[in-house]
Amino acid sequence: MYTDPATRAAAWVGRNDADMTDLNVLDTELETVRMANGGDAVGHVDGRVVFVRGALPGERVRVRIEDRSNDRFWRAVVTDVLDPAPDRVPPACEAAAHGAGCCDLSFVEPAAARRLKTGVTADVLRRIGPLTDDGLAAAGLFDEGVRALGPDGEGWRIRTRLFVDDQGRAGVHAWHASTVIVGHHCSAPLAGLVAGLDVERFTPGAEIVAVAGADGRHLAEIAPPEPVRGDRGDRRHVQRTRRSRAAARSTRMLGGAETVPHTVGDRTWDIGVNGFWQAHRAAPATYAATVVAMMENVDVDPAGTVAWDLYGGAGIYAGALLDNAAAQVHVVDSDAGAISAASTTFAGEARLRAHRGEVAETAVGLPSPDIVVLDPPRTGAGRAVIDMIAAADPRVVVHVGCDVGRFARDLAFLAERGYRVRALRAFDAFPGTHHVETIACLTR
């Protein structure tokens, strides 16, 4: 019998003692049959679907049922692996093995994890998106499946965020909990990025941001959010807490400058230490090159082409479009820091215009596009933005998605408006986790 004590310990995180009455159900064995979107394996107990964290397809596992609130399915955590899958390996991430929510698939051989994620991506695109097996094959998803962004191994993350417990120690949040796991390192950060932080003491409740730039490490402490008074069980308290955490908080630099230089190709962007930049060190250049390559066989003349770079941030895709596919690019983003960085990087470049504002309202007044590239947040673009894009009638749309479910939904909206997927790529943007970055090129 294979037993992982750390996984057993993690199974108790978030446990509800009030549910400990039916031990035959709450502590049981099952066999898993497939992988689900979100990193869980799927099994069954008495005919009911159970999503199991910490399991792989084809395993016999002992689990503890932790959530029975849904009538259609339950959620469980592995306590013992009785019959392991061939691709199970000792967890590569020490923090995740001790209950942290960082690297939820670090116990899977990396190439095997990408195969699993390829299957999950295809399944979601069939169920939610507009694609069939033939369409997925024609678009190229299965040519390489989910692709690695670099050599397998640790140290791919160039920016990370740690959380400070009430004793001033920095660590990683526990899975779906506010508890901070300290003394156990995550395997994802670049070598040296969080070095020494485990022995330092910080402001309790603060967040520590570490970013590797072209000039070395930048380190900042983000002040704790304002405390929220009220009944902790009240829904309004939860909403107030979320607003408090999202509100602007003071930043104290602990090392390096407040802006971090990042270079892609011949351009350098200066991004605020707490601003957005892709976490994987190879992601910006790879995604930009993929966006351009996808349009190589599309009949668009760069000489007079207008492009929209929606949710464009600092303009990574805009730079690639100016270099390869467009005569004029309009970057739209609601983040003031990102638009400022874009304006600085492209200062003197008359072919680029940066616009700050919500995408659905701001893009309506722009010149009609031949090309639209959109890279929305995890919530996706949504119907209003997709309808706005379709009404502008671009010849080609390239959608970059960081949540495959919302990505598939947006592709379905585009299909309703007459667009079809010509090319599809998927990348292992966060190795050791269930996350996948997907890019699709669509034309009328």
229-273 residue pLDDT tens: 665 555 565 455 555 555 678 999 999 999 999 999 999 999 999
Q: What is the mean pLDDT of the chain?
A: 90
Give yes or no: 93 in active site.
Answer: no
Mean pLDDT of all residues in 141-160 = 93
Token pair of 72 as six digits: 């259609």
The predicted structure's pLDDT at residue 46 = 87
Q: Does 392 have pLDDT greater than 80?
A: yes
Type of residue found at 144: E
DSSP-assigned beta bridge partners for residue 391: none
**Catalytic: which of 93, 103, 186, 402?**
402
Mean pLDDT of all residues in 324-346 = 95
Q: Does 15 have pLDDT greater than 50?
A: no
Weakest mean pLDDT among 31-35, 234-238, 298-302, 428-432: 234-238
Q: How do beta strands 146-147 and 48-53 pair?
A: unpaired
At 73-98, the pLDDT tens digits run 999 999 999 999 999 999 999 999 99
The predicted structure's pLDDT at residue 342 = 97
The predicted structure's pLDDT at residue 167 = 97
Q: What is the pTM of this model?
A: 0.89
Give the residue carrying structure tokens 């190589």. 296
At 96-108, the pLDDT tens digits run 999 999 999 999 9
Q: Does 286 have pLDDT greater than 50?
A: yes
